[in-house]
Structure 1
Amino acid sequence: MLYKSSLLALVGAGEQPSLSPRRLCLFNITSGTALRELNFLTSILAVRVNRKRLIVVLQEQTYIYDLSNVEKKVVVDTVPNLRGLCAFSPSLDNPYLAFPASTAEGSVLVYDVMHLQPHCEIHAHRSPLAAMAFSSNGMYIATASEQGTIIRVHLISDATKSYSFRRGTYPSTIFSLSFSPSADLPDILLATSSSGSVHVFSLGFELNERSRKSNSFLGLIMPGSFSDVLDPTHHLVFHHAFAAGVRSDAIVRKIDKGSGTSMSEPVALRASVSMITFSGHYQVFGLRVNHKNEATWSLEYEFNLLTAAAEQIQL
């Protein structure tokens, strides 16, 4: 979906011509009409869209279109990308697309979709990539490898590593990464993993030196130089948020924060997190961190999509 508009980019998963995985349909849900159809020689693995560009990812090629007239701007040859892994910035000021640059290691190719040229290559991990995501302003990209033990955040402008987080000691598949929708430096980074856990990392609250040195969730601020891997106690882990092994994608819908009554008090934070699982559950969680750095994670809303779909079919 193009943000909250009526435009959908649909790809089928069946054998019929109208549901072919090689066919993309731009569909207007308000008028109920197909606006444009695009056909490809191989299956479409991923689709991304913002207000200027439409991105179609195939196994070894990525197509970039002008969304206004669906004119093909360029076809980028890529390394084999069997899972269609990519990330697309929603920001028009930093209009970047990212996809794997290697099948042997975790290198990311960042491509400028407006100027139609590579921007930089980031060597993020030793193992191949498993997940990546841009911040809402397009200035940062988070990556995780197939090992899933380390999550790194890079500043796009100069391809430098800004943050490095340890998710855990044992390997785990990272299903999704999501930044909070902040205008400047994102406040938190969210990750879901095959262990059934949700991990929350803090990226840069404006804290004083006393809070900055504290061993707390909100005290996670980068010093001038830092070790490659941060202590795992510097992030929140919510276990059993969903069934282990079931793919789950989570995003930070909104975030609110406020300062304390004195300069020595840490920042309080409240975030709304939406999660959808491949088992058909849609959930909304509330994350709250008080001025004592005490965190709570509560289920605020839950909806079974498969049950609702079955009821609609019966009707």
Structure 2
Amino acid sequence: MKLKARFIYRIPKESSLTVNSGFCIGTKEGFKIFDSQSGRLCYERAIGAFSIVEMLFSSSLLSIVGAGEQPSLSPRRLCLFNTITGTALKELNFLTSILAVRVNKKRLVVLLQDKTYIYDLNSLVILDTIDTVLNTKGLCAFSPNMDGCYLALPASTTKGSVLVYNVMELNPHCEIDAHRSPLAVIVLSSNGMYMATASEQGTIIRVHLVSQATESYSFRRGTYQSTIYSLSFGPSLQLPDILVATSSSGSVHVFSLASIINQRSKRSSTLLGSMFPDTVNDALEPSHHHVLHNAVPTGVKSYAMIRGVEKSSEESSMSQAATLRASISIITYSGYFLEYSLGINHINEPSWTLEREFNLLTVLKEDVTNAN
């Protein structure tokens, strides 16, 4: 059974590197909400097929869209649903199918194939309508941080251009030419400072500094074409330590941004290194790239998120212990949840551990299967 899945998460105000996260899935029977840390099924409702289930952080408010398999669950109708009362708070109807929904404490964003609507969440008054290029995949990225609340949308159907829109100030921020081929994935860091993109070729992943509308880093995923299914930044409030990608090859790719910063400073002191742009050097340098092969079955769509990052102190950085450890959660669209632990030591050697795995479609609400 195929399912739709989305991680929902909240970054604490303090400078913490741990994400308090959960995730929601939509199936042919209804939708479910899980706690990422325990694996516990927190909520479920079996009322029909849903294509979109979007949660407002860890609150009781859901934005849900039907898959169209039942007359009452139209793909053109958005329902704001309260999980505590089990009732619909408000419904919004559109002329065409809804392809994506994003929400924070003040804004509700609804994507159609050629228009994007921005609402005030409290009053549901339309604040702006953005005419977009044809976006049949519903590609978008949203940063819910109020200080850098950006929405990223495809700006071309023939190349990988991105329109970055300020959702709070209701004006375009910039346009970035990211790739020569059309976009496959866009993601923004939680604070809105950085944007990562991949094209339909899937060989190069680029990271852009949003404030300056410039490319900051380039990564080579591989030589052969592959479909990038998801990109996810680490939860740092500043420059994320790592970026994770999943692809149709079944591999999980982790790129170390912190490693590139150190390599750039070393290259700048050499004659040969100074002759090449940083982005060229980054793409050719493999030491920042760690791959877990066959993490999920080949061709099965998957979505990954970095739930937490821990870094050791400088005093222990020369030991054999991991200097960076990340917790990476993966949902496959075939219905499985996997959590991997990645450790990287002081000589940049990775170690992967599968901490837990369970079937999302069979777990019961009272169960905590494989939670610990």
Paired letter, 2:342:
L
Aligned mates of 2:202, 2:225 — CA distance in 1: 5
Match of 2:306 in 1: 252
**In the alignment, structure 1 residue 306 sits paired with structure 2 residue 361:** yes
Describe how 1:123-272 pairs up with structure 2 within 5 A.
123-204=177-258, 225-228=277-280, 229-261=283-315, 268-272=323-327
Q: Is the 8 A contact 1:97 1:111 kept in 2?
A: yes
**Aligned partner of residue 18 in structure 1, secondary structure:** coil
Q: Which runs of 5+ in 1 are unaligned?
A: 214-221
Which residue does the alignment assign to 2:21? none
Give the aligned residue type for 1:28.
Answer: N
In structure 1, C-alpha distance between the alignment counterparts of 2:310 and 2:336, rounded to whole Å: 25
Query: Where does residue 286 of structure 1 map in the other structure?
Result: 341
CA–CA distance in structure 2, aligned partners of residues 174 and 121 of structure 1: 22
- Asked whether 1:63 is paired with 2:147, we answer no
Q: Secondary structure at the match of 2:72?
A: helix
Cα distance in 1, alignment partners of residues 60 and 138 from structure 2? 25
Deviation for aligned residue 1:296: 1.0
* SS at 1:93 equivalent: helix
Matching of residue 11 in structure 1 with residue 65 in structure 2: yes
Match of 2:148 among 94, 105, 119: 94
Flag structure 2 segments of 5+ consecutive residues without an equivalent. Answer: 1-54, 268-273, 368-372
Q: Distance in 2 between matches of 1:22 and 1:200?
A: 37
Shift of 1:68: 1.6
- Report the AA paired with residue 84 of structure 1: G
Counterpart residue identity of residue 166, structure 1: R
Is residue 2:152 matched to residue 1:77? no
Cα displacement string for residues 29-56 of structure 1 (whole angstroms, at most 9, x for unaligned residues): 0111111101100000011111111111
- Bigger Cα displacement from structure 2, 116-125 vs 226-235: 226-235
Residue 209 of structure 1, CA deviation: 7.5
CA distance in 2, matches of 1:223, 1:179: 30
**Residue in structure 2 matched with residue 115 of structure 1 by the alignment:** 169
Question: Per-residue deviation at 1:173?
Answer: 0.3
Q: Encode CA deviations 1:125-167: one digit per residue, 9 max, x unaligned.
A: 0000000100111000000000000000000011011000000
Question: Structure 1: how far apart are the matches of 2:289 and 2:172?
Answer: 34
Q: Which structure would you say has the larger RCO, counting Cα contacts within 8 Å and 6 or more residues apart? A: 2
CA contact (8 A) 2:341 2:354 kept: yes
Is structure 2 residue 86 aligned with structure 1 residue 32?
yes
Conserved 8 A contact 1:88-1:134: yes
- Shift in Å, 1:14: 2.0
Partner of 1:47: 101
Q: 8 Å contact 2:257–2:288 — kept in the other structure?
A: no
- Give 1:308 shift: 3.0
Post-superposition offset of 1:177:
0.3
Give SS of 1:138's match.
coil
Q: Matches of 1:154 and 1:211 in 2, distance apart?
A: 19
What amino acid maps onto 1:237 in structure 2?
V
Partners of 1:231 and 1:305 lie apart in 2 by 38
AA partner of residue 218 (structure 2): S
CA distance in 1, matches of 2:266, 2:288: 12
Deviation at 1:293, TM superposition (A): 2.4
C-alpha distance in structure 2 between counterparts of 1:207 and 1:156, whole Å: 18
**Residues 156, 265 of structure 1: alpha-carbon distance in 2 compared, 3 angstrom cutoff:** farther
Q: Does 1:21 align with 2:75?
A: yes
The percent of aligned pairs where both chains have the same amino acid is 64
Mapped partners of 1:169, 1:227: distance in 2:
17
Aligned mate of 1:277, from 332, 345, 349: 332
* Distance in 2 (alpha carbons) for counterparts of 1:61 and 1:259: 48
Match of 2:159 in 1: 105
Report if the CA contact (8 A) 1:259-1:265 is conserved: no
Are the counterparts in 1 of residues 216 and 279 from structure 2 also a CA contact under 8 Å?
A: no
Q: Give per-residue Cα distances to partners, 1:153-210, cap 9 Å, x unaligned.
A: 0000110110000000000000000000001000000000000000000112698679
Q: Tell which deviates more after alignment, 121-130 or 232-241.
A: 232-241
> Equivalents in 1 of 2:318, 2:277: separation in Å?
24
Say whether the 8 Å CA contact 1:168–1:232 is kept in structure 2: no
Could you tell me how far 1:70 is from its partner in structure 2?
Answer: 1.5
